[in-house]
Amino acid sequence: MASILIVEDDKDIRDILKTYLKIENYDIYESETILDAKNIINKNNIDIILLDIMLPDGESIDDLPNIRSKNPDTGIIIISAKNTDRDKIFGIELGADDYITKPFNPREVIARTRSLLKRLKKHDVILKYKNLELLPDSFSVKKNNLLIELTSKEFEILYLLSSNPEKIFSRNNIIEKVWYGDEYITDRVIDVHISMIRSKIGKSWIKTVRNIGYKFNKNGE
């Protein structure tokens, strides 16, 4: 059974989300502050975080990179009244998997939560190329037997490319496969994720194909 953490200081919104999430039989945790949320995350195995930005003890967006780095296999959906394209893109770039604006339809939240859970669990085959091994269960990579943690999106991109070695993926291809065509995901978001992956596993594994996109090099370092 999946576990969902609702981080929201508005009790009415929390109650609405809980009502719909209970129908799906999820284990539900709730928090009104960033500090309480961190304590819950540290003590429990959370699958999805529904995260409001503006909270009593600060803006959660400031802690998002830290939360993401420490919980690479946890899905994060921002639910916020901040509704500009810039806000959405910024949230995704900092590590959120999805972004929903307020006011929202609870059924949309459930649908996106369900979809994200499926995406997080869809990788089940361990891939290995030379000294690089992709481990789907932990959203991590082993290189020379040393464990390297990736965020969920970094892993999804790397898994997509490495499942199809030498196939060229345009940025739009990656957006369609990893973000299901989310209109708020830009080429810059893809480039930032690729840069982060390269910084962790080495540049030679992912090749840039000029004016087209990227491909996985199975003969990397």
Which CATH number do you get for residue 103? 3.40.50.2300
The reported pTM is: 0.71
- Beta-bridge partners for 135: 140
| pLDDT score recorded for residue 122 | 63
| Integer Cα distance of 73 and 110 in angstroms | 19
Torsion angles phi and psi, residue 92, rounded to 5? -65, -40
- Residue 82 is assigned to a structural domain of this protein: yes
| Residue 118 CB partners (closer than 8 Å, separation 6+) | none
Q: Are residues 90 and 133 located together in one domain of the fold?
A: no
Q: Are residues 10 and 114 located together in one domain of the fold?
A: yes
Last residue of a domain, one of 121, 136, 152: 121
- Residue 221 is assigned to a structural domain of this protein: no
- Residue 49 is assigned to a structural domain of this protein: yes
- Tokens encoding 218: 């199975």
| Integer Cα distance of 157 and 198 in angstroms | 12
- Residue 50 is assigned to a structural domain of this protein: yes
Question: Are 157 and 194 spatial neighbours (Cβ–Cβ below 8 Å)?
Answer: yes
| Integer Cα distance of 187 and 172 in angstroms | 8
How many domains in the chain? 2
Last residue of a domain, one of 96, 121, 146: 121
Q: Are residues 159 and 208 located together in one domain of the fold?
A: yes
Q: Are residues 117 and 133 located together in one domain of the fold?
A: no
pLDDT digits (tens), the chain, 221 positions: 799 999 999 999 999 999 999 999 999 999 999 999 999 999 998 999 999 999 999 999 999 988 988 887 899 999 999 989 889 888 988 889 899 999 999 999 999 999 888 877 766 678 999 999 998 877 789 999 999 988 888 999 999 999 999 899 999 999 988 887 777 788 999 999 999 999 999 999 999 999 999 999 998 87
Q: Are residues 104 and 15 located together in one domain of the fold?
A: yes
- Beta-bridge partners for 142: 133, 147
* Rounded alpha-carbon distances, angstroms, from residue 124 to 113, 143, 175: 20, 19, 21
40: containing domain: 3-121
- Residue 63 is assigned to a structural domain of this protein: yes
Question: Are 4 and 14 spatial neighbours (Cβ–Cβ below 8 Å)?
Answer: no
- Residue 21 is assigned to a structural domain of this protein: yes
Last residue of a domain, one of 66, 98, 121: 121
